[in-house]
Amino acid sequence: MNIGDNGEQTNDEELAAFVEEFCVGDVFLNSLEDFTVFEFYAANNESSRDAYLAEKKRNSKLKELVDRQMSSGKREEPIAYLTSIVKRFSDYKLNLEQVLKRTSDESPDAYAVREAVAEIGKIATRMNEATKLSQNQRIMQLYFRSTAPSANLDLLNLLDPSRQLIYKTPLNYTGRSRPVELIMFDNYIAIFIKTVDGNLEDEGDNEGDIPGIQKRYLYKIKEKPIHVDNARVLFDTASSRGITELLRHSTTTSAHSGTSTSGSHESPLIRHSSSAHSDKKSFTIQDFGNPFDADSHVATTYNFRVEVEVYRDQWKKQIEAHQKSQVFVDVGVCEDRVFVATRNAIFYGLEGSAYKRTPLLGSPSVSLGENIKQIEILEEFDLLLVLANDKLFAYNLRSVINKTSQASVRQQIAYPVNFFRIGVCDGKTLICAVGDTGLRWQMKLLDPTFKKAKKSIFSANVTQDMTVYKDIFIPTPVTSIDFLKMRVVIGTCRGFETVHMKLIGADGNAPLLDSTDPSLKFIRNRENLNPLALFRTDDERFLLCFEDQGFFVTKHGKYSLGSARFNWRGLAPSKFAHFGQYIVAVSRNVIDVFNWATGELVQSVVAENARVLEVRERFMYVSRDSGSGEDGTWEPASPYGAQVWKIELRV
């Protein structure tokens, strides 16, 4: 554009002619590829500033130059020339929007300018995200450098590029006279204590400082970090005070957290008095992923008090919002708490007795006094199997459903039985009943195959044709049963062992793991193993799940190098399920979802007194007790308030 000799722009006619020949929108659209460099500037803005400040501190000549420039009247340091690049980009969008306002809709440039504004807005959004990520990583590095090394710091994994700081506030923590900093990352919630040179006895204030000597402030992580998915925020009520008053100071050491509370005046389990805690600034965080008691699995409880009430509400809001955003499996409550095993609603599960208060138990079929541990259905054989009082019974399924006169007729098919499994091996559907006889354990394999042609809904003896396919005695306790093509895999204290259905002797019985593989020394040299589950992969490997960990082996029993390892976080899960690319571990109060390929914990669901009812190909049924109310207050678990969840792989 020409500028007149007097510095003024040309007249309107010349400007209009210029606009007709010159399309502003096209210029910007043709330069969009070059604009992506601004994303690089935005991502490195913070690091550039840090590098400049560090160089100025190190380089005395640079400092002299800056001081000279500032004293000569310059208002900004040289670093401003780097940061102003990002600011300049934001002006493009503002200026183009003004151009668009002054451009008529009939102008051919209107569409191009409008498109340029939209594209520059997208780049600006990516720049903001890059800046936020850069600032977030800077904060993570600051906390990492300023925190004393520990296993808890490793757990936070602050140097992960994707790590995010979600929320933090200073607050008061039970048992401490000074405030702490509660920080919520995208994976864990951690309590940070500010120290001076790592000395916990000298915190925060500057009284008694020696002139000329600068104190070095550090952070220390207090207590084991709380996994965000396992946290539950409770507000104080009269009922919650009565319940949590039971969680008193303990003189024992938690086997799961590794944190001793013996004699400590900072125990997180010491409860405030009712008068001190019954206000709207106090709240409690329960950590179901860190049981306080290994036997009762009571969640560890932390009590906090904030200065402003809104902080308390924000903690609950932030935690629950993040839990809902990290979803890989969907959890839904089955209507009317009914567990559907077939096309007919038959039973559901509650704490105490796995299948208490069910339509089955309401009929003459099973006495309400019987301790029912397990129920399974073989629909193709018209069988309902019930394990009660260490005895395995078989019912005619259609008789039970139709409530005929034969509904209560049953036959004991195995005793004693601790648990049983149904699977396919040697081309047959087998019922595998396992029990402790006192001197040794017995595994009885029952074949119901030829019942199919002879069954009758009016038959008095529903299992008269069921035969024992194999009867095997095992010298050690059995913890799990799994089925392969021709072998039954038995989990004992010695590990996984296989029993061939055709071969006998040394050829038929063998440990699953290769005893010569040095990579398996970490598991082979241990005593009292507790194998719980085995899963076969598409590439002919096996995932072996023990009480404390899981790992892959080849079909020859050798450790699968480079494969994922699984750490169950000390929660001792009792049941496992494989859903697509995830492995689900069900513990007493927590259901964890791990990535099958990486071993990473991707989702965790709190489920008090969880009990697996049935596992299908893409979903499972789990019973659990009721927990907290809608307002975050604690409601005691009730057998009448129990629910059945359907946990389904998200498509």
What average pLDDT score do residues 454-482 get?
74
Cα–Cα dist 346/358, whole Å: 7
Q: Which of 202, 182, 180, 198 is nearest to 190 (CA)?
A: 182
Cα–Cα dist 236/454, whole Å: 62
Cα–Cα dist 326/227, whole Å: 12
Cα–Cα dist 463/388, whole Å: 17
HEC-encoded secondary structure of 350-404: CCCCCCCCCHHHHCCCCCCCCCEEEEEEEHHHCEEEEEECCEEEEEEHHHHHHCC
Cα–Cα dist 651/465, whole Å: 43
Amino acid at 287: D
Q: What is the pLDDT of residue 408?
A: 79
Assess contact for 580 and 586: CB atoms under 8 A.
no
* Mean pLDDT (the chain, rounded): 76
* pTM, two decimal places: 0.69
Q: What is the pLDDT of residue 220?
A: 87
User: The tokens of 556 are what?
Assistant: 């020859």
Stated length of the chain: 651
User: The tokens of 292 are what?
Assistant: 């306080």
Instruction: Give 626's pLDDT tier (boundaries 50, 70, 90).
Output: low
What average pLDDT score do residues 521-535 get?
90
**E strand or H helix at 118:** helix 108-146
CATH for the stretch 12-143: 1.20.900.10
* Res. 369: pLDDT tops 70: no
Domain 151-204+215-326 class in CATH: mainly beta
Instruction: Give 528's pLDDT tier (boundaries 50, 70, 90).
Output: confident
Query: Residue 569, by phi and psi: left (phi above 0), alpha (psi -120 to 50) or beta?
Result: left
* Res. 610: pLDDT tops 50: yes
Domains of the chain: which residue ranges?
Answer: 12-143, 151-204+215-326, 363-479
12-143 against 151-204+215-326: fold identical:
no
Q: Which of 195, 198, 193 is nearest to 179 (CA)?
A: 193
Assess contact for 268 and 292: CB atoms under 8 A.
no
Q: Which of 600, 589, 640, 642 is nearest to 301 (CA)?
A: 589
How much of the chain is in helix, strand and coil states, percent to nearest 5?
30, 35, 40
Q: Burial-class residue 399 by CB neighbours within 10 Å (0-12, 13-18, 19+).
A: buried
